[in-house]
Every structure is written in C-alpha cells, then in structure tokens.
Chain A
Amino acid sequence: MRLSQLAVGETGIVKEFTDLEMSVKLMEMGCLPGEEVRVSRIAPLGDPIAIHVSGYQLSLRKREASTIILQ
C-alpha cells in the first residue's frame, strides 16, 4: 500500500521509501518510518494532497506520495 492510495481521512504508518532523494526531503519534514500519516484533503484538481504528519499539515504531489510505502 502506498500513501497515494489512501482516501481522505484514512491513516497509515510509514514503512519505507522507494526513492532515496525524495526520502531525504520527506524525512527532514518529519515524515519518516514509524510515523502515522493521515490524508487531510486532496486539492480541488486531484493533486497535490495534504497530509497530517508529526503534528502539522504537509502538502505533496501524488507522485511524491507514491514513493512512500505504508505498513
């Protein structure tokens, strides 16, 4: 299961990343393995998405979200 497959309101736990470059950036922003993420909303045009992680809201594109594998 990837983060990009979650619907609004659904939660998951980050397991690993498929892309090293992206993972470095995501982890700095507090989105790292073991962390719970919840999809808060999807932008009106379907992309990007906003997720709740580490106590704040982070927006990222679907393609970026698809590099995050959930448990």
Chain B
Amino acid sequence: MDTDIKVALVGNPNTGKSTLFNVLTGLNQKIGNFPGVTVDKKTGVCELPDGRRAQIIDLPGTYSLYPKSRDESIVFSILADRTNLLKPDLVVVIVDASNLKRNLLLYTQVADLKVPVVLALNMMDMAQKAEISIDVNLIAQKLGVPVIPISARKGEGIDKLKAAIAFANKVPLQQDTIDVEALAPQLIAQIEEDIQVDNPYFALQLAHQHETLDFLTPQQSERIEELEHEFNFHSQKAQASETIARYNYINDLLYDTVTKKETAQDQTISNKIDRVLTHKIFGFVLFLGILMFIFQSIFAWSAYPMKLIGDLFVWAQSSLHHILPSGPLTSLLVDGVMGGLSGVMVFIPQIAILFGFISILEDTGYMSRVTFMMDRIMRKVGLNGKSVVPLIGGFACAVPSIMSTRNIENWKDRMITIMVTPLVTCSARLPVYTLLIALVVPNRNVWWIFNLQGLALTGMYLFSLISAVTVAFVMKYILKSRERGYFIMELPVYRMPRWKNVGLTMYERSGAFVLQAGKVIIAVSVILWVLASFGPGDRFKQIELKYQQPQYTQHQQSDDLQRTIASEKLENSYAGMLGHAIAPVIKPLGFDWKIGIALITSFAAREVFVGTMATIYSVDGNAEKMESVQQKMGTAKNPDGSPVFTAAVAFSLMMFYAFAMQCASTVAVVYRETKDWRWPAAQFAYMTVLAYVASFITYHLLK
C-alpha cells in the first residue's frame, strides 16, 4: 500500500491504544481490557488533513522498553532498528491522562531514542471526572513535543491529533529527559564508537538487550558483551538507577502541570464493584454463575437459529435433488459438499454467542479479576493466574489462546499452559457434544430451570477444566526450571463493554471459523464422498449384479433393497475399508467402523465429525428422504438391529473427543510458539493415550 509516512502507536496496556487505532484507521479489530490482547502487530491507513496518507502501526502495549514478554520485545526492535522496514517516521505515544505518572515512563524512554514524537493524552474525560487538571500547554513546552488531549472512545480531539501527525517535524525536537550518559559513561561511549550508533540511549539499550536482538550481528553482540565485562556493567542495577532517574524527572514535570483533588479514592465505582466481584464467597459464586449462564445461553439462545439453518439446508438439499439430474456429480455436490457444510453452518449461532461473551469479559476488565482470584489455585497446580485467560479462551478456540500465552513471562508456566489448553472444551467440540447429547440425553428440565441437556454440556465443560488442571499438576513435576515466576499485573478500572466491538468480534470470529473450518470440511467432505462412493476393483459392480438376481428383486420392497445395496457398497468402499482397518483397535471403546471413519477424518479438525457423519449416513440412507444428521444417527442400527448410539457409545465418543488432539491448526500453532517439534509431538501423544483410556473406561462403565 502506498503511504507517505509511517506512524507507530506506542503506549501502556489499557490506555485505549487499540481504540485510537480503530478511530484513526477506520479498520476495526479485537480489543480488550486485559493487558496484552493486542498480540499481533496491526497496521492500517489514515488519511491526513493535508491529503497525505499515513500507515499506522499498532505496537503491543508495554509499560517500558525493557521487555518482560515476547510480545513486548518487538516494540524496541521496531523503534530502534534502522534496517527494519516498519521503522516509523513518527511515534505517537498514547498515555492515560488519569494516570500520567506511570504512563510517562514509557514516553521518556521513547523520547530518549530521539525519534520524532507526538504525545496523545487519552481519556481526558475520565481525568476531568476524577478532578485532575492538566496544563497541556505547559507540558508541551517542557517536553518540547506536540501534546494533544483526546478521548478515543468519544472520538474527541482526533482531528487535532491527525493534524499534529501531518505537521510533525521530521527531526526529533524533544528535550532530553534524563542524563543517560551518566548511567554508564564509558560503556555508552565505546558502544557508540564500535557499533556505530549516534544515540546514547540506543547504545545503553543495546547493552541491556543485545542478547535477544535479531538485528545485531553475532560479532557485534559479542563485542558488546566484552565491553560490559570491561566496564563492569550490571544490567539490573543500571536499569534500577535509570527507572529512579526517570521517575524523578516525571515528578518534576508533573509538579506544576498536574493538580489532583485529594478525594477518598477508595470510593470509586470500580472499587465498589471489586468489593462484590472479588468477594471471598460471592466472587467465586458469581464466576461460576457467569460460566453457567454462558453455557446455558449457548444452548437456549442458539436453538431457534440453529433449527432454521438446519431446515434450510435440508430444504436446499432435497430441492437440488429434484432439480438436478441424478448422477455422481449431483451426489458429490448435494450429499458430499452440502452435507458436510450444513454440519458446520448450524453451529455458527453457538460460536458467535460464545465469542460474544468472552469479548465482553475481556472488554469490561473482569477477566483480569478472574486472574487475580484464581492465581493461588492455579499456582498450586503449576500454572499461573494469567493461565486463566488462555484456559477460558480455550472454550472458544485453542489457537488464539495458545498465542495469548505470550503474556505469561515465566517459561515453565507458559509451557504447561500451552500443553493443557487444548484439553479445554473448544467450540469445535461443541457441535460433537451437542449432537451426541441431543441423541442420548432427554430434553427436559430438572429443578425448575436446569435443562438436562444443558447440564450434561456444563458437565463436559467442567470435566475438561478438571482434566486440564490435573495434567498441569503432573507436568509441574516433570518440567524443570530455575526461573522465578512472578505476578505483577495492573488491575484496570471497570468499563462498559464497547458493544460495537463485541458485535464485531462475534462477526469476525464466526466468519473466520466458517472460512477456516469450512475449507477443511469441504475438502474432507469431498475426499470422504469419493472414498465412500468408490471401491477397489469391481466390488461395486458385483454388489449390483448380486441384487439384480430375482430372489432379491421379487421378495424385497424396492426401498429396503436400495438401502441394503447402499450399505453393502459403503462397507466395500475405500472409506469402509479404512474404517474396518481400525475397527479392531476401537472396538474396545464401543465404536464401529463407521465411527472409525469419522475418527480418522476428525484428526484434521474435530468439527469434521458432524460433517462426516452426515456424509456417511446420507450415502447410506435413502437420498430422496432427507433428514437431519441427528435423526439419521438416532435411527442408525447395528447389523443385529440394536441402536448404534447408545448412551455408552455416545459418552465414550465424547470422552474421546474431550482428550484427543484432533486439530491440525493447534499442532501447527504449538510448534510456532515453542519452536520445537518435540512439544506438539509430546502433546499429541499424551492426549491420544488419555483419549483412548478415558473412552475405554467410560464405555465399560456405562455398558
């Protein structure tokens, strides 16, 4: 994209940086109140008042240029590395005006890198409410940079900010904040000379961070290491003195520019809410209640739209069968592709509702309270309070959740979280569970409000959490680490969720799910249809010949005969052979060869199960009489006439899906995050073993 200048947005977490990014670019994306939701680097284009176009780069929220997590480390690289293509011409530092002191630390660091800076004071409305008065002009004069008061949420001051971006100087004009050279005079001078840098703070940062910076050559990094020894440089001590010096500077700056009325701060609304939400008893009761409410709603609210989508597909399939000439191509399109697709599409309502709730929990700031409340328990089992977010996010999808573990600073905590997150019931398991629960659990209420099916589903969700925690506890003793874990985290004030944002997240996430899962499902459906419709050699021909004999055509109804033929064909098809091949292995779990086919295809993605079932049973059944997958499975019979899906089989299947690592995307993302094939391999192995054992036990207990 052709843009005239590059502008980077930098700021603390929870300062409204993502909201500002949305307002500037008009491009929307997911934002939340939880520190670190802005994981991926996002860019967008902003039209400036002078007609030029600016590329806006949204950098991860950070409290300082000294990174504490993987995400934060890219901020310094992008700001400082001159060879980086994204190196901005201008940096907009966004700060929370109601909490200038802590926010300005990052500003002083960025300013000392001597890149052109504009300071945006966000949440001016909140600062006014808190009776904080800020002398904006005096701050601008003291810092030597443009200072623009804005309110990103209300869209106030944005035009002025755009103008400031347009008319910003190409050279840095800011005042020095602290005497950087005094921190390590000889070392800085020597690095400037040897590595050819002209900025003392950049040189100092190189000394601190050279081991993790990609843009330094190994020789340069080695040279810096030598210099550190030569001049007796102690990174942490230097960092401590620097931070103290910076806060001294900030205190001086704020002394005559910001005045705050001393009020009883404990009585803020946020505090009152916290008193209830993190209460000893109510806190947990409410958390459980919220989870219960979410799962009940997923079932209750989605029932009607799901039925609508399901009916629509049944109608479309049967009308297509009437319109199109019958033949293998029609069959491929209607039974293969549409059959598989309908299996996924009906779950859009449930997935949208789930993502909506998770986005509300993050946006309001409640998620970090959950972290706060759960840390003690989580630590007992080898996790971290911050693991709660990936685990809860795991209810939606393990892939983004595993990416969000980058916030967990401690290596061991992070690895354990990555290893157990795929155990949590993700939205792809939801179709499998709802289908099987609807088959074997009666749809009635107990204790007035609790629907039996909803309870069974809640049970599966709770069970998945328990198993994740148990596995984590075991891993705590397997993994070795000398690194210390810590939990220093901001608790942001409560805010109303941005409804537009929530709606957008629901739309984007369900859209992504349909696109990503849809591709896999269509591909798998087509392959499966081919495998199920053709067999090796002339087996199919022989079956047809066999049933043309008079003893069959004369004594059997044509409907029944068709069914017998189809089912014998399926058994002799490639898919049938595949299913039969693994049948002995899965027989102890109560599964027949048809379920075997579904298990094999599900290793691409779990939700393929429903589509596979749809394809298998529509190939098997009578094509003229379209039924929903559930009806087909409900009436499915074993060769001896007993129903296939008994409670034992259904629950055994659910257990298998609860544990097995049937998701190619998760395997890929675990590799990407750990950079070592042994992690996803170990994960796949332990989950498959657990799945087999759990299914085996369940089937034999219920049989």
Q: Could you list which residues of chain A lie within 8 angstroms of chain B, going by C-beta atoms?
A: 9, 20-30, 32-33, 38, 40-41, 43-48, 50, 52, 54-61, 64
Whole-angstrom CA separation of A9 from B247 in the bound complex? 26
Interface pair B490/A21, CB less than 8 Å apart: no
Per CB-CB distance, the 5 closest pairs between chain A and chain B, nearest first, are A30-B102, A45-B376, A57-B491, A27-B243, A44-B280
Q: If the complex has contacts A25-B68, A41-B275, A43-B375, are A48 and B385 also in contact, measured as CB distance less than 8 A? A: yes
- The majority secondary structure among interface residues of chain A is mixed
Q: If the complex has contacts A32-B247, A43-B373, are A54 and B488 also in contact, measured as CB distance less than 8 A? A: no
> Known contacts A54-B99, A57-B490, A64-B486; can you find 9 more A-B pairs with CB under 8 A?
A27-B240, A29-B488, A29-B490, A56-B493, A57-B491, A58-B489, A59-B372, A60-B486, A61-B375
- Cβ of B377 under 8 Å from chain A: yes
Q: If the complex has contacts A24-B239, A27-B244, A45-B376, are A55 and B101 also in contact, measured as CB distance less than 8 A? A: yes
Give B431 Cβ to nearest chain A Cβ, in Å. Answer: 35
Identify A58's interface contact among B281, B283, B490, CB under 8 A. B490
Q: List 20 A-B contacts (CB under 8 A).
A: A20-B237, A22-B486, A25-B486, A25-B488, A27-B243, A38-B266, A40-B271, A41-B274, A41-B278, A43-B373, A43-B376, A44-B281, A47-B376, A48-B385, A54-B99, A57-B492, A58-B488, A59-B491, A60-B486, A60-B488
- The majority secondary structure among interface residues of chain B is helix
Interface pair A64/B487, CB less than 8 Å apart: yes
Interface pair A44/B63, CB less than 8 Å apart: no
With a cutoff of 8 Å between Cβ atoms, the chain A residues found around residue B247 in the complex are 27, 30, 32
Whole-angstrom CA separation of A24 from B488 in the bound complex? 11
With a cutoff of 8 Å between Cβ atoms, the chain A residues found around residue B63 in the complex are 28-29
Whole-angstrom CA separation of A32 from B281 in the bound complex? 33
Whole-angstrom CA separation of A21 from B274 in the bound complex? 30
With a cutoff of 8 Å between Cβ atoms, the chain A residues found around residue B489 in the complex are 58-60
With a cutoff of 8 Å between Cβ atoms, the chain A residues found around residue B491 in the complex are 50, 56-59
Whole-angstrom CA separation of A58 from B26 in the bound complex? 33
Give B236 Cβ to nearest chain A Cβ, in Å. Answer: 5
Identify A21's interface contact among B275, B281, B484, CB under 8 A. B484
With a cutoff of 8 Å between Cβ atoms, the chain A residues found around residue B275 in the complex are 41
Give A41 Cβ to nearest chain B Cβ, in Å. Answer: 6
Whole-angstrom CA separation of A63 from B701 in the bound complex? 46
With a cutoff of 8 Å between Cβ atoms, the chain B residues found around residue A29 in the complex are 63, 102, 488, 490
Whole-angstrom CA separation of A32 from B243 in the bound complex? 9
Give A22 Cβ to nearest chain B Cβ, in Å. Answer: 7
Q: If the complex has contacts A40-B271, A41-B278, are A20 and B240 also in contact, measured as CB distance less than 8 A? A: yes
Give B141 Cβ to nearest chain A Cβ, in Å. Answer: 23
Whole-angstrom CA separation of A30 from B106 in the bound complex? 11
Whole-angstrom CA separation of A58 from B375 in the bound complex? 14
- Cβ of B407 under 8 Å from chain A: no
With a cutoff of 8 Å between Cβ atoms, the chain B residues found around residue A30 in the complex are 101-102, 105, 247
Interface pair B375/A47, CB less than 8 Å apart: yes
Give A33 Cβ to nearest chain B Cβ, in Å. Answer: 7
Interface pair A44/B64, CB less than 8 Å apart: no
- Cβ of B279 under 8 Å from chain A: yes
Give B14 Cβ to nearest chain A Cβ, in Å. Answer: 9
Whole-angstrom CA separation of A28 from B12 in the bound complex? 11
With a cutoff of 8 Å between Cβ atoms, the chain B residues found around residue A45 in the complex are 373, 376-377
Q: If the complex has contacts A52-B265, A54-B101, are A44 and B284 also in contact, measured as CB distance less than 8 A? A: yes
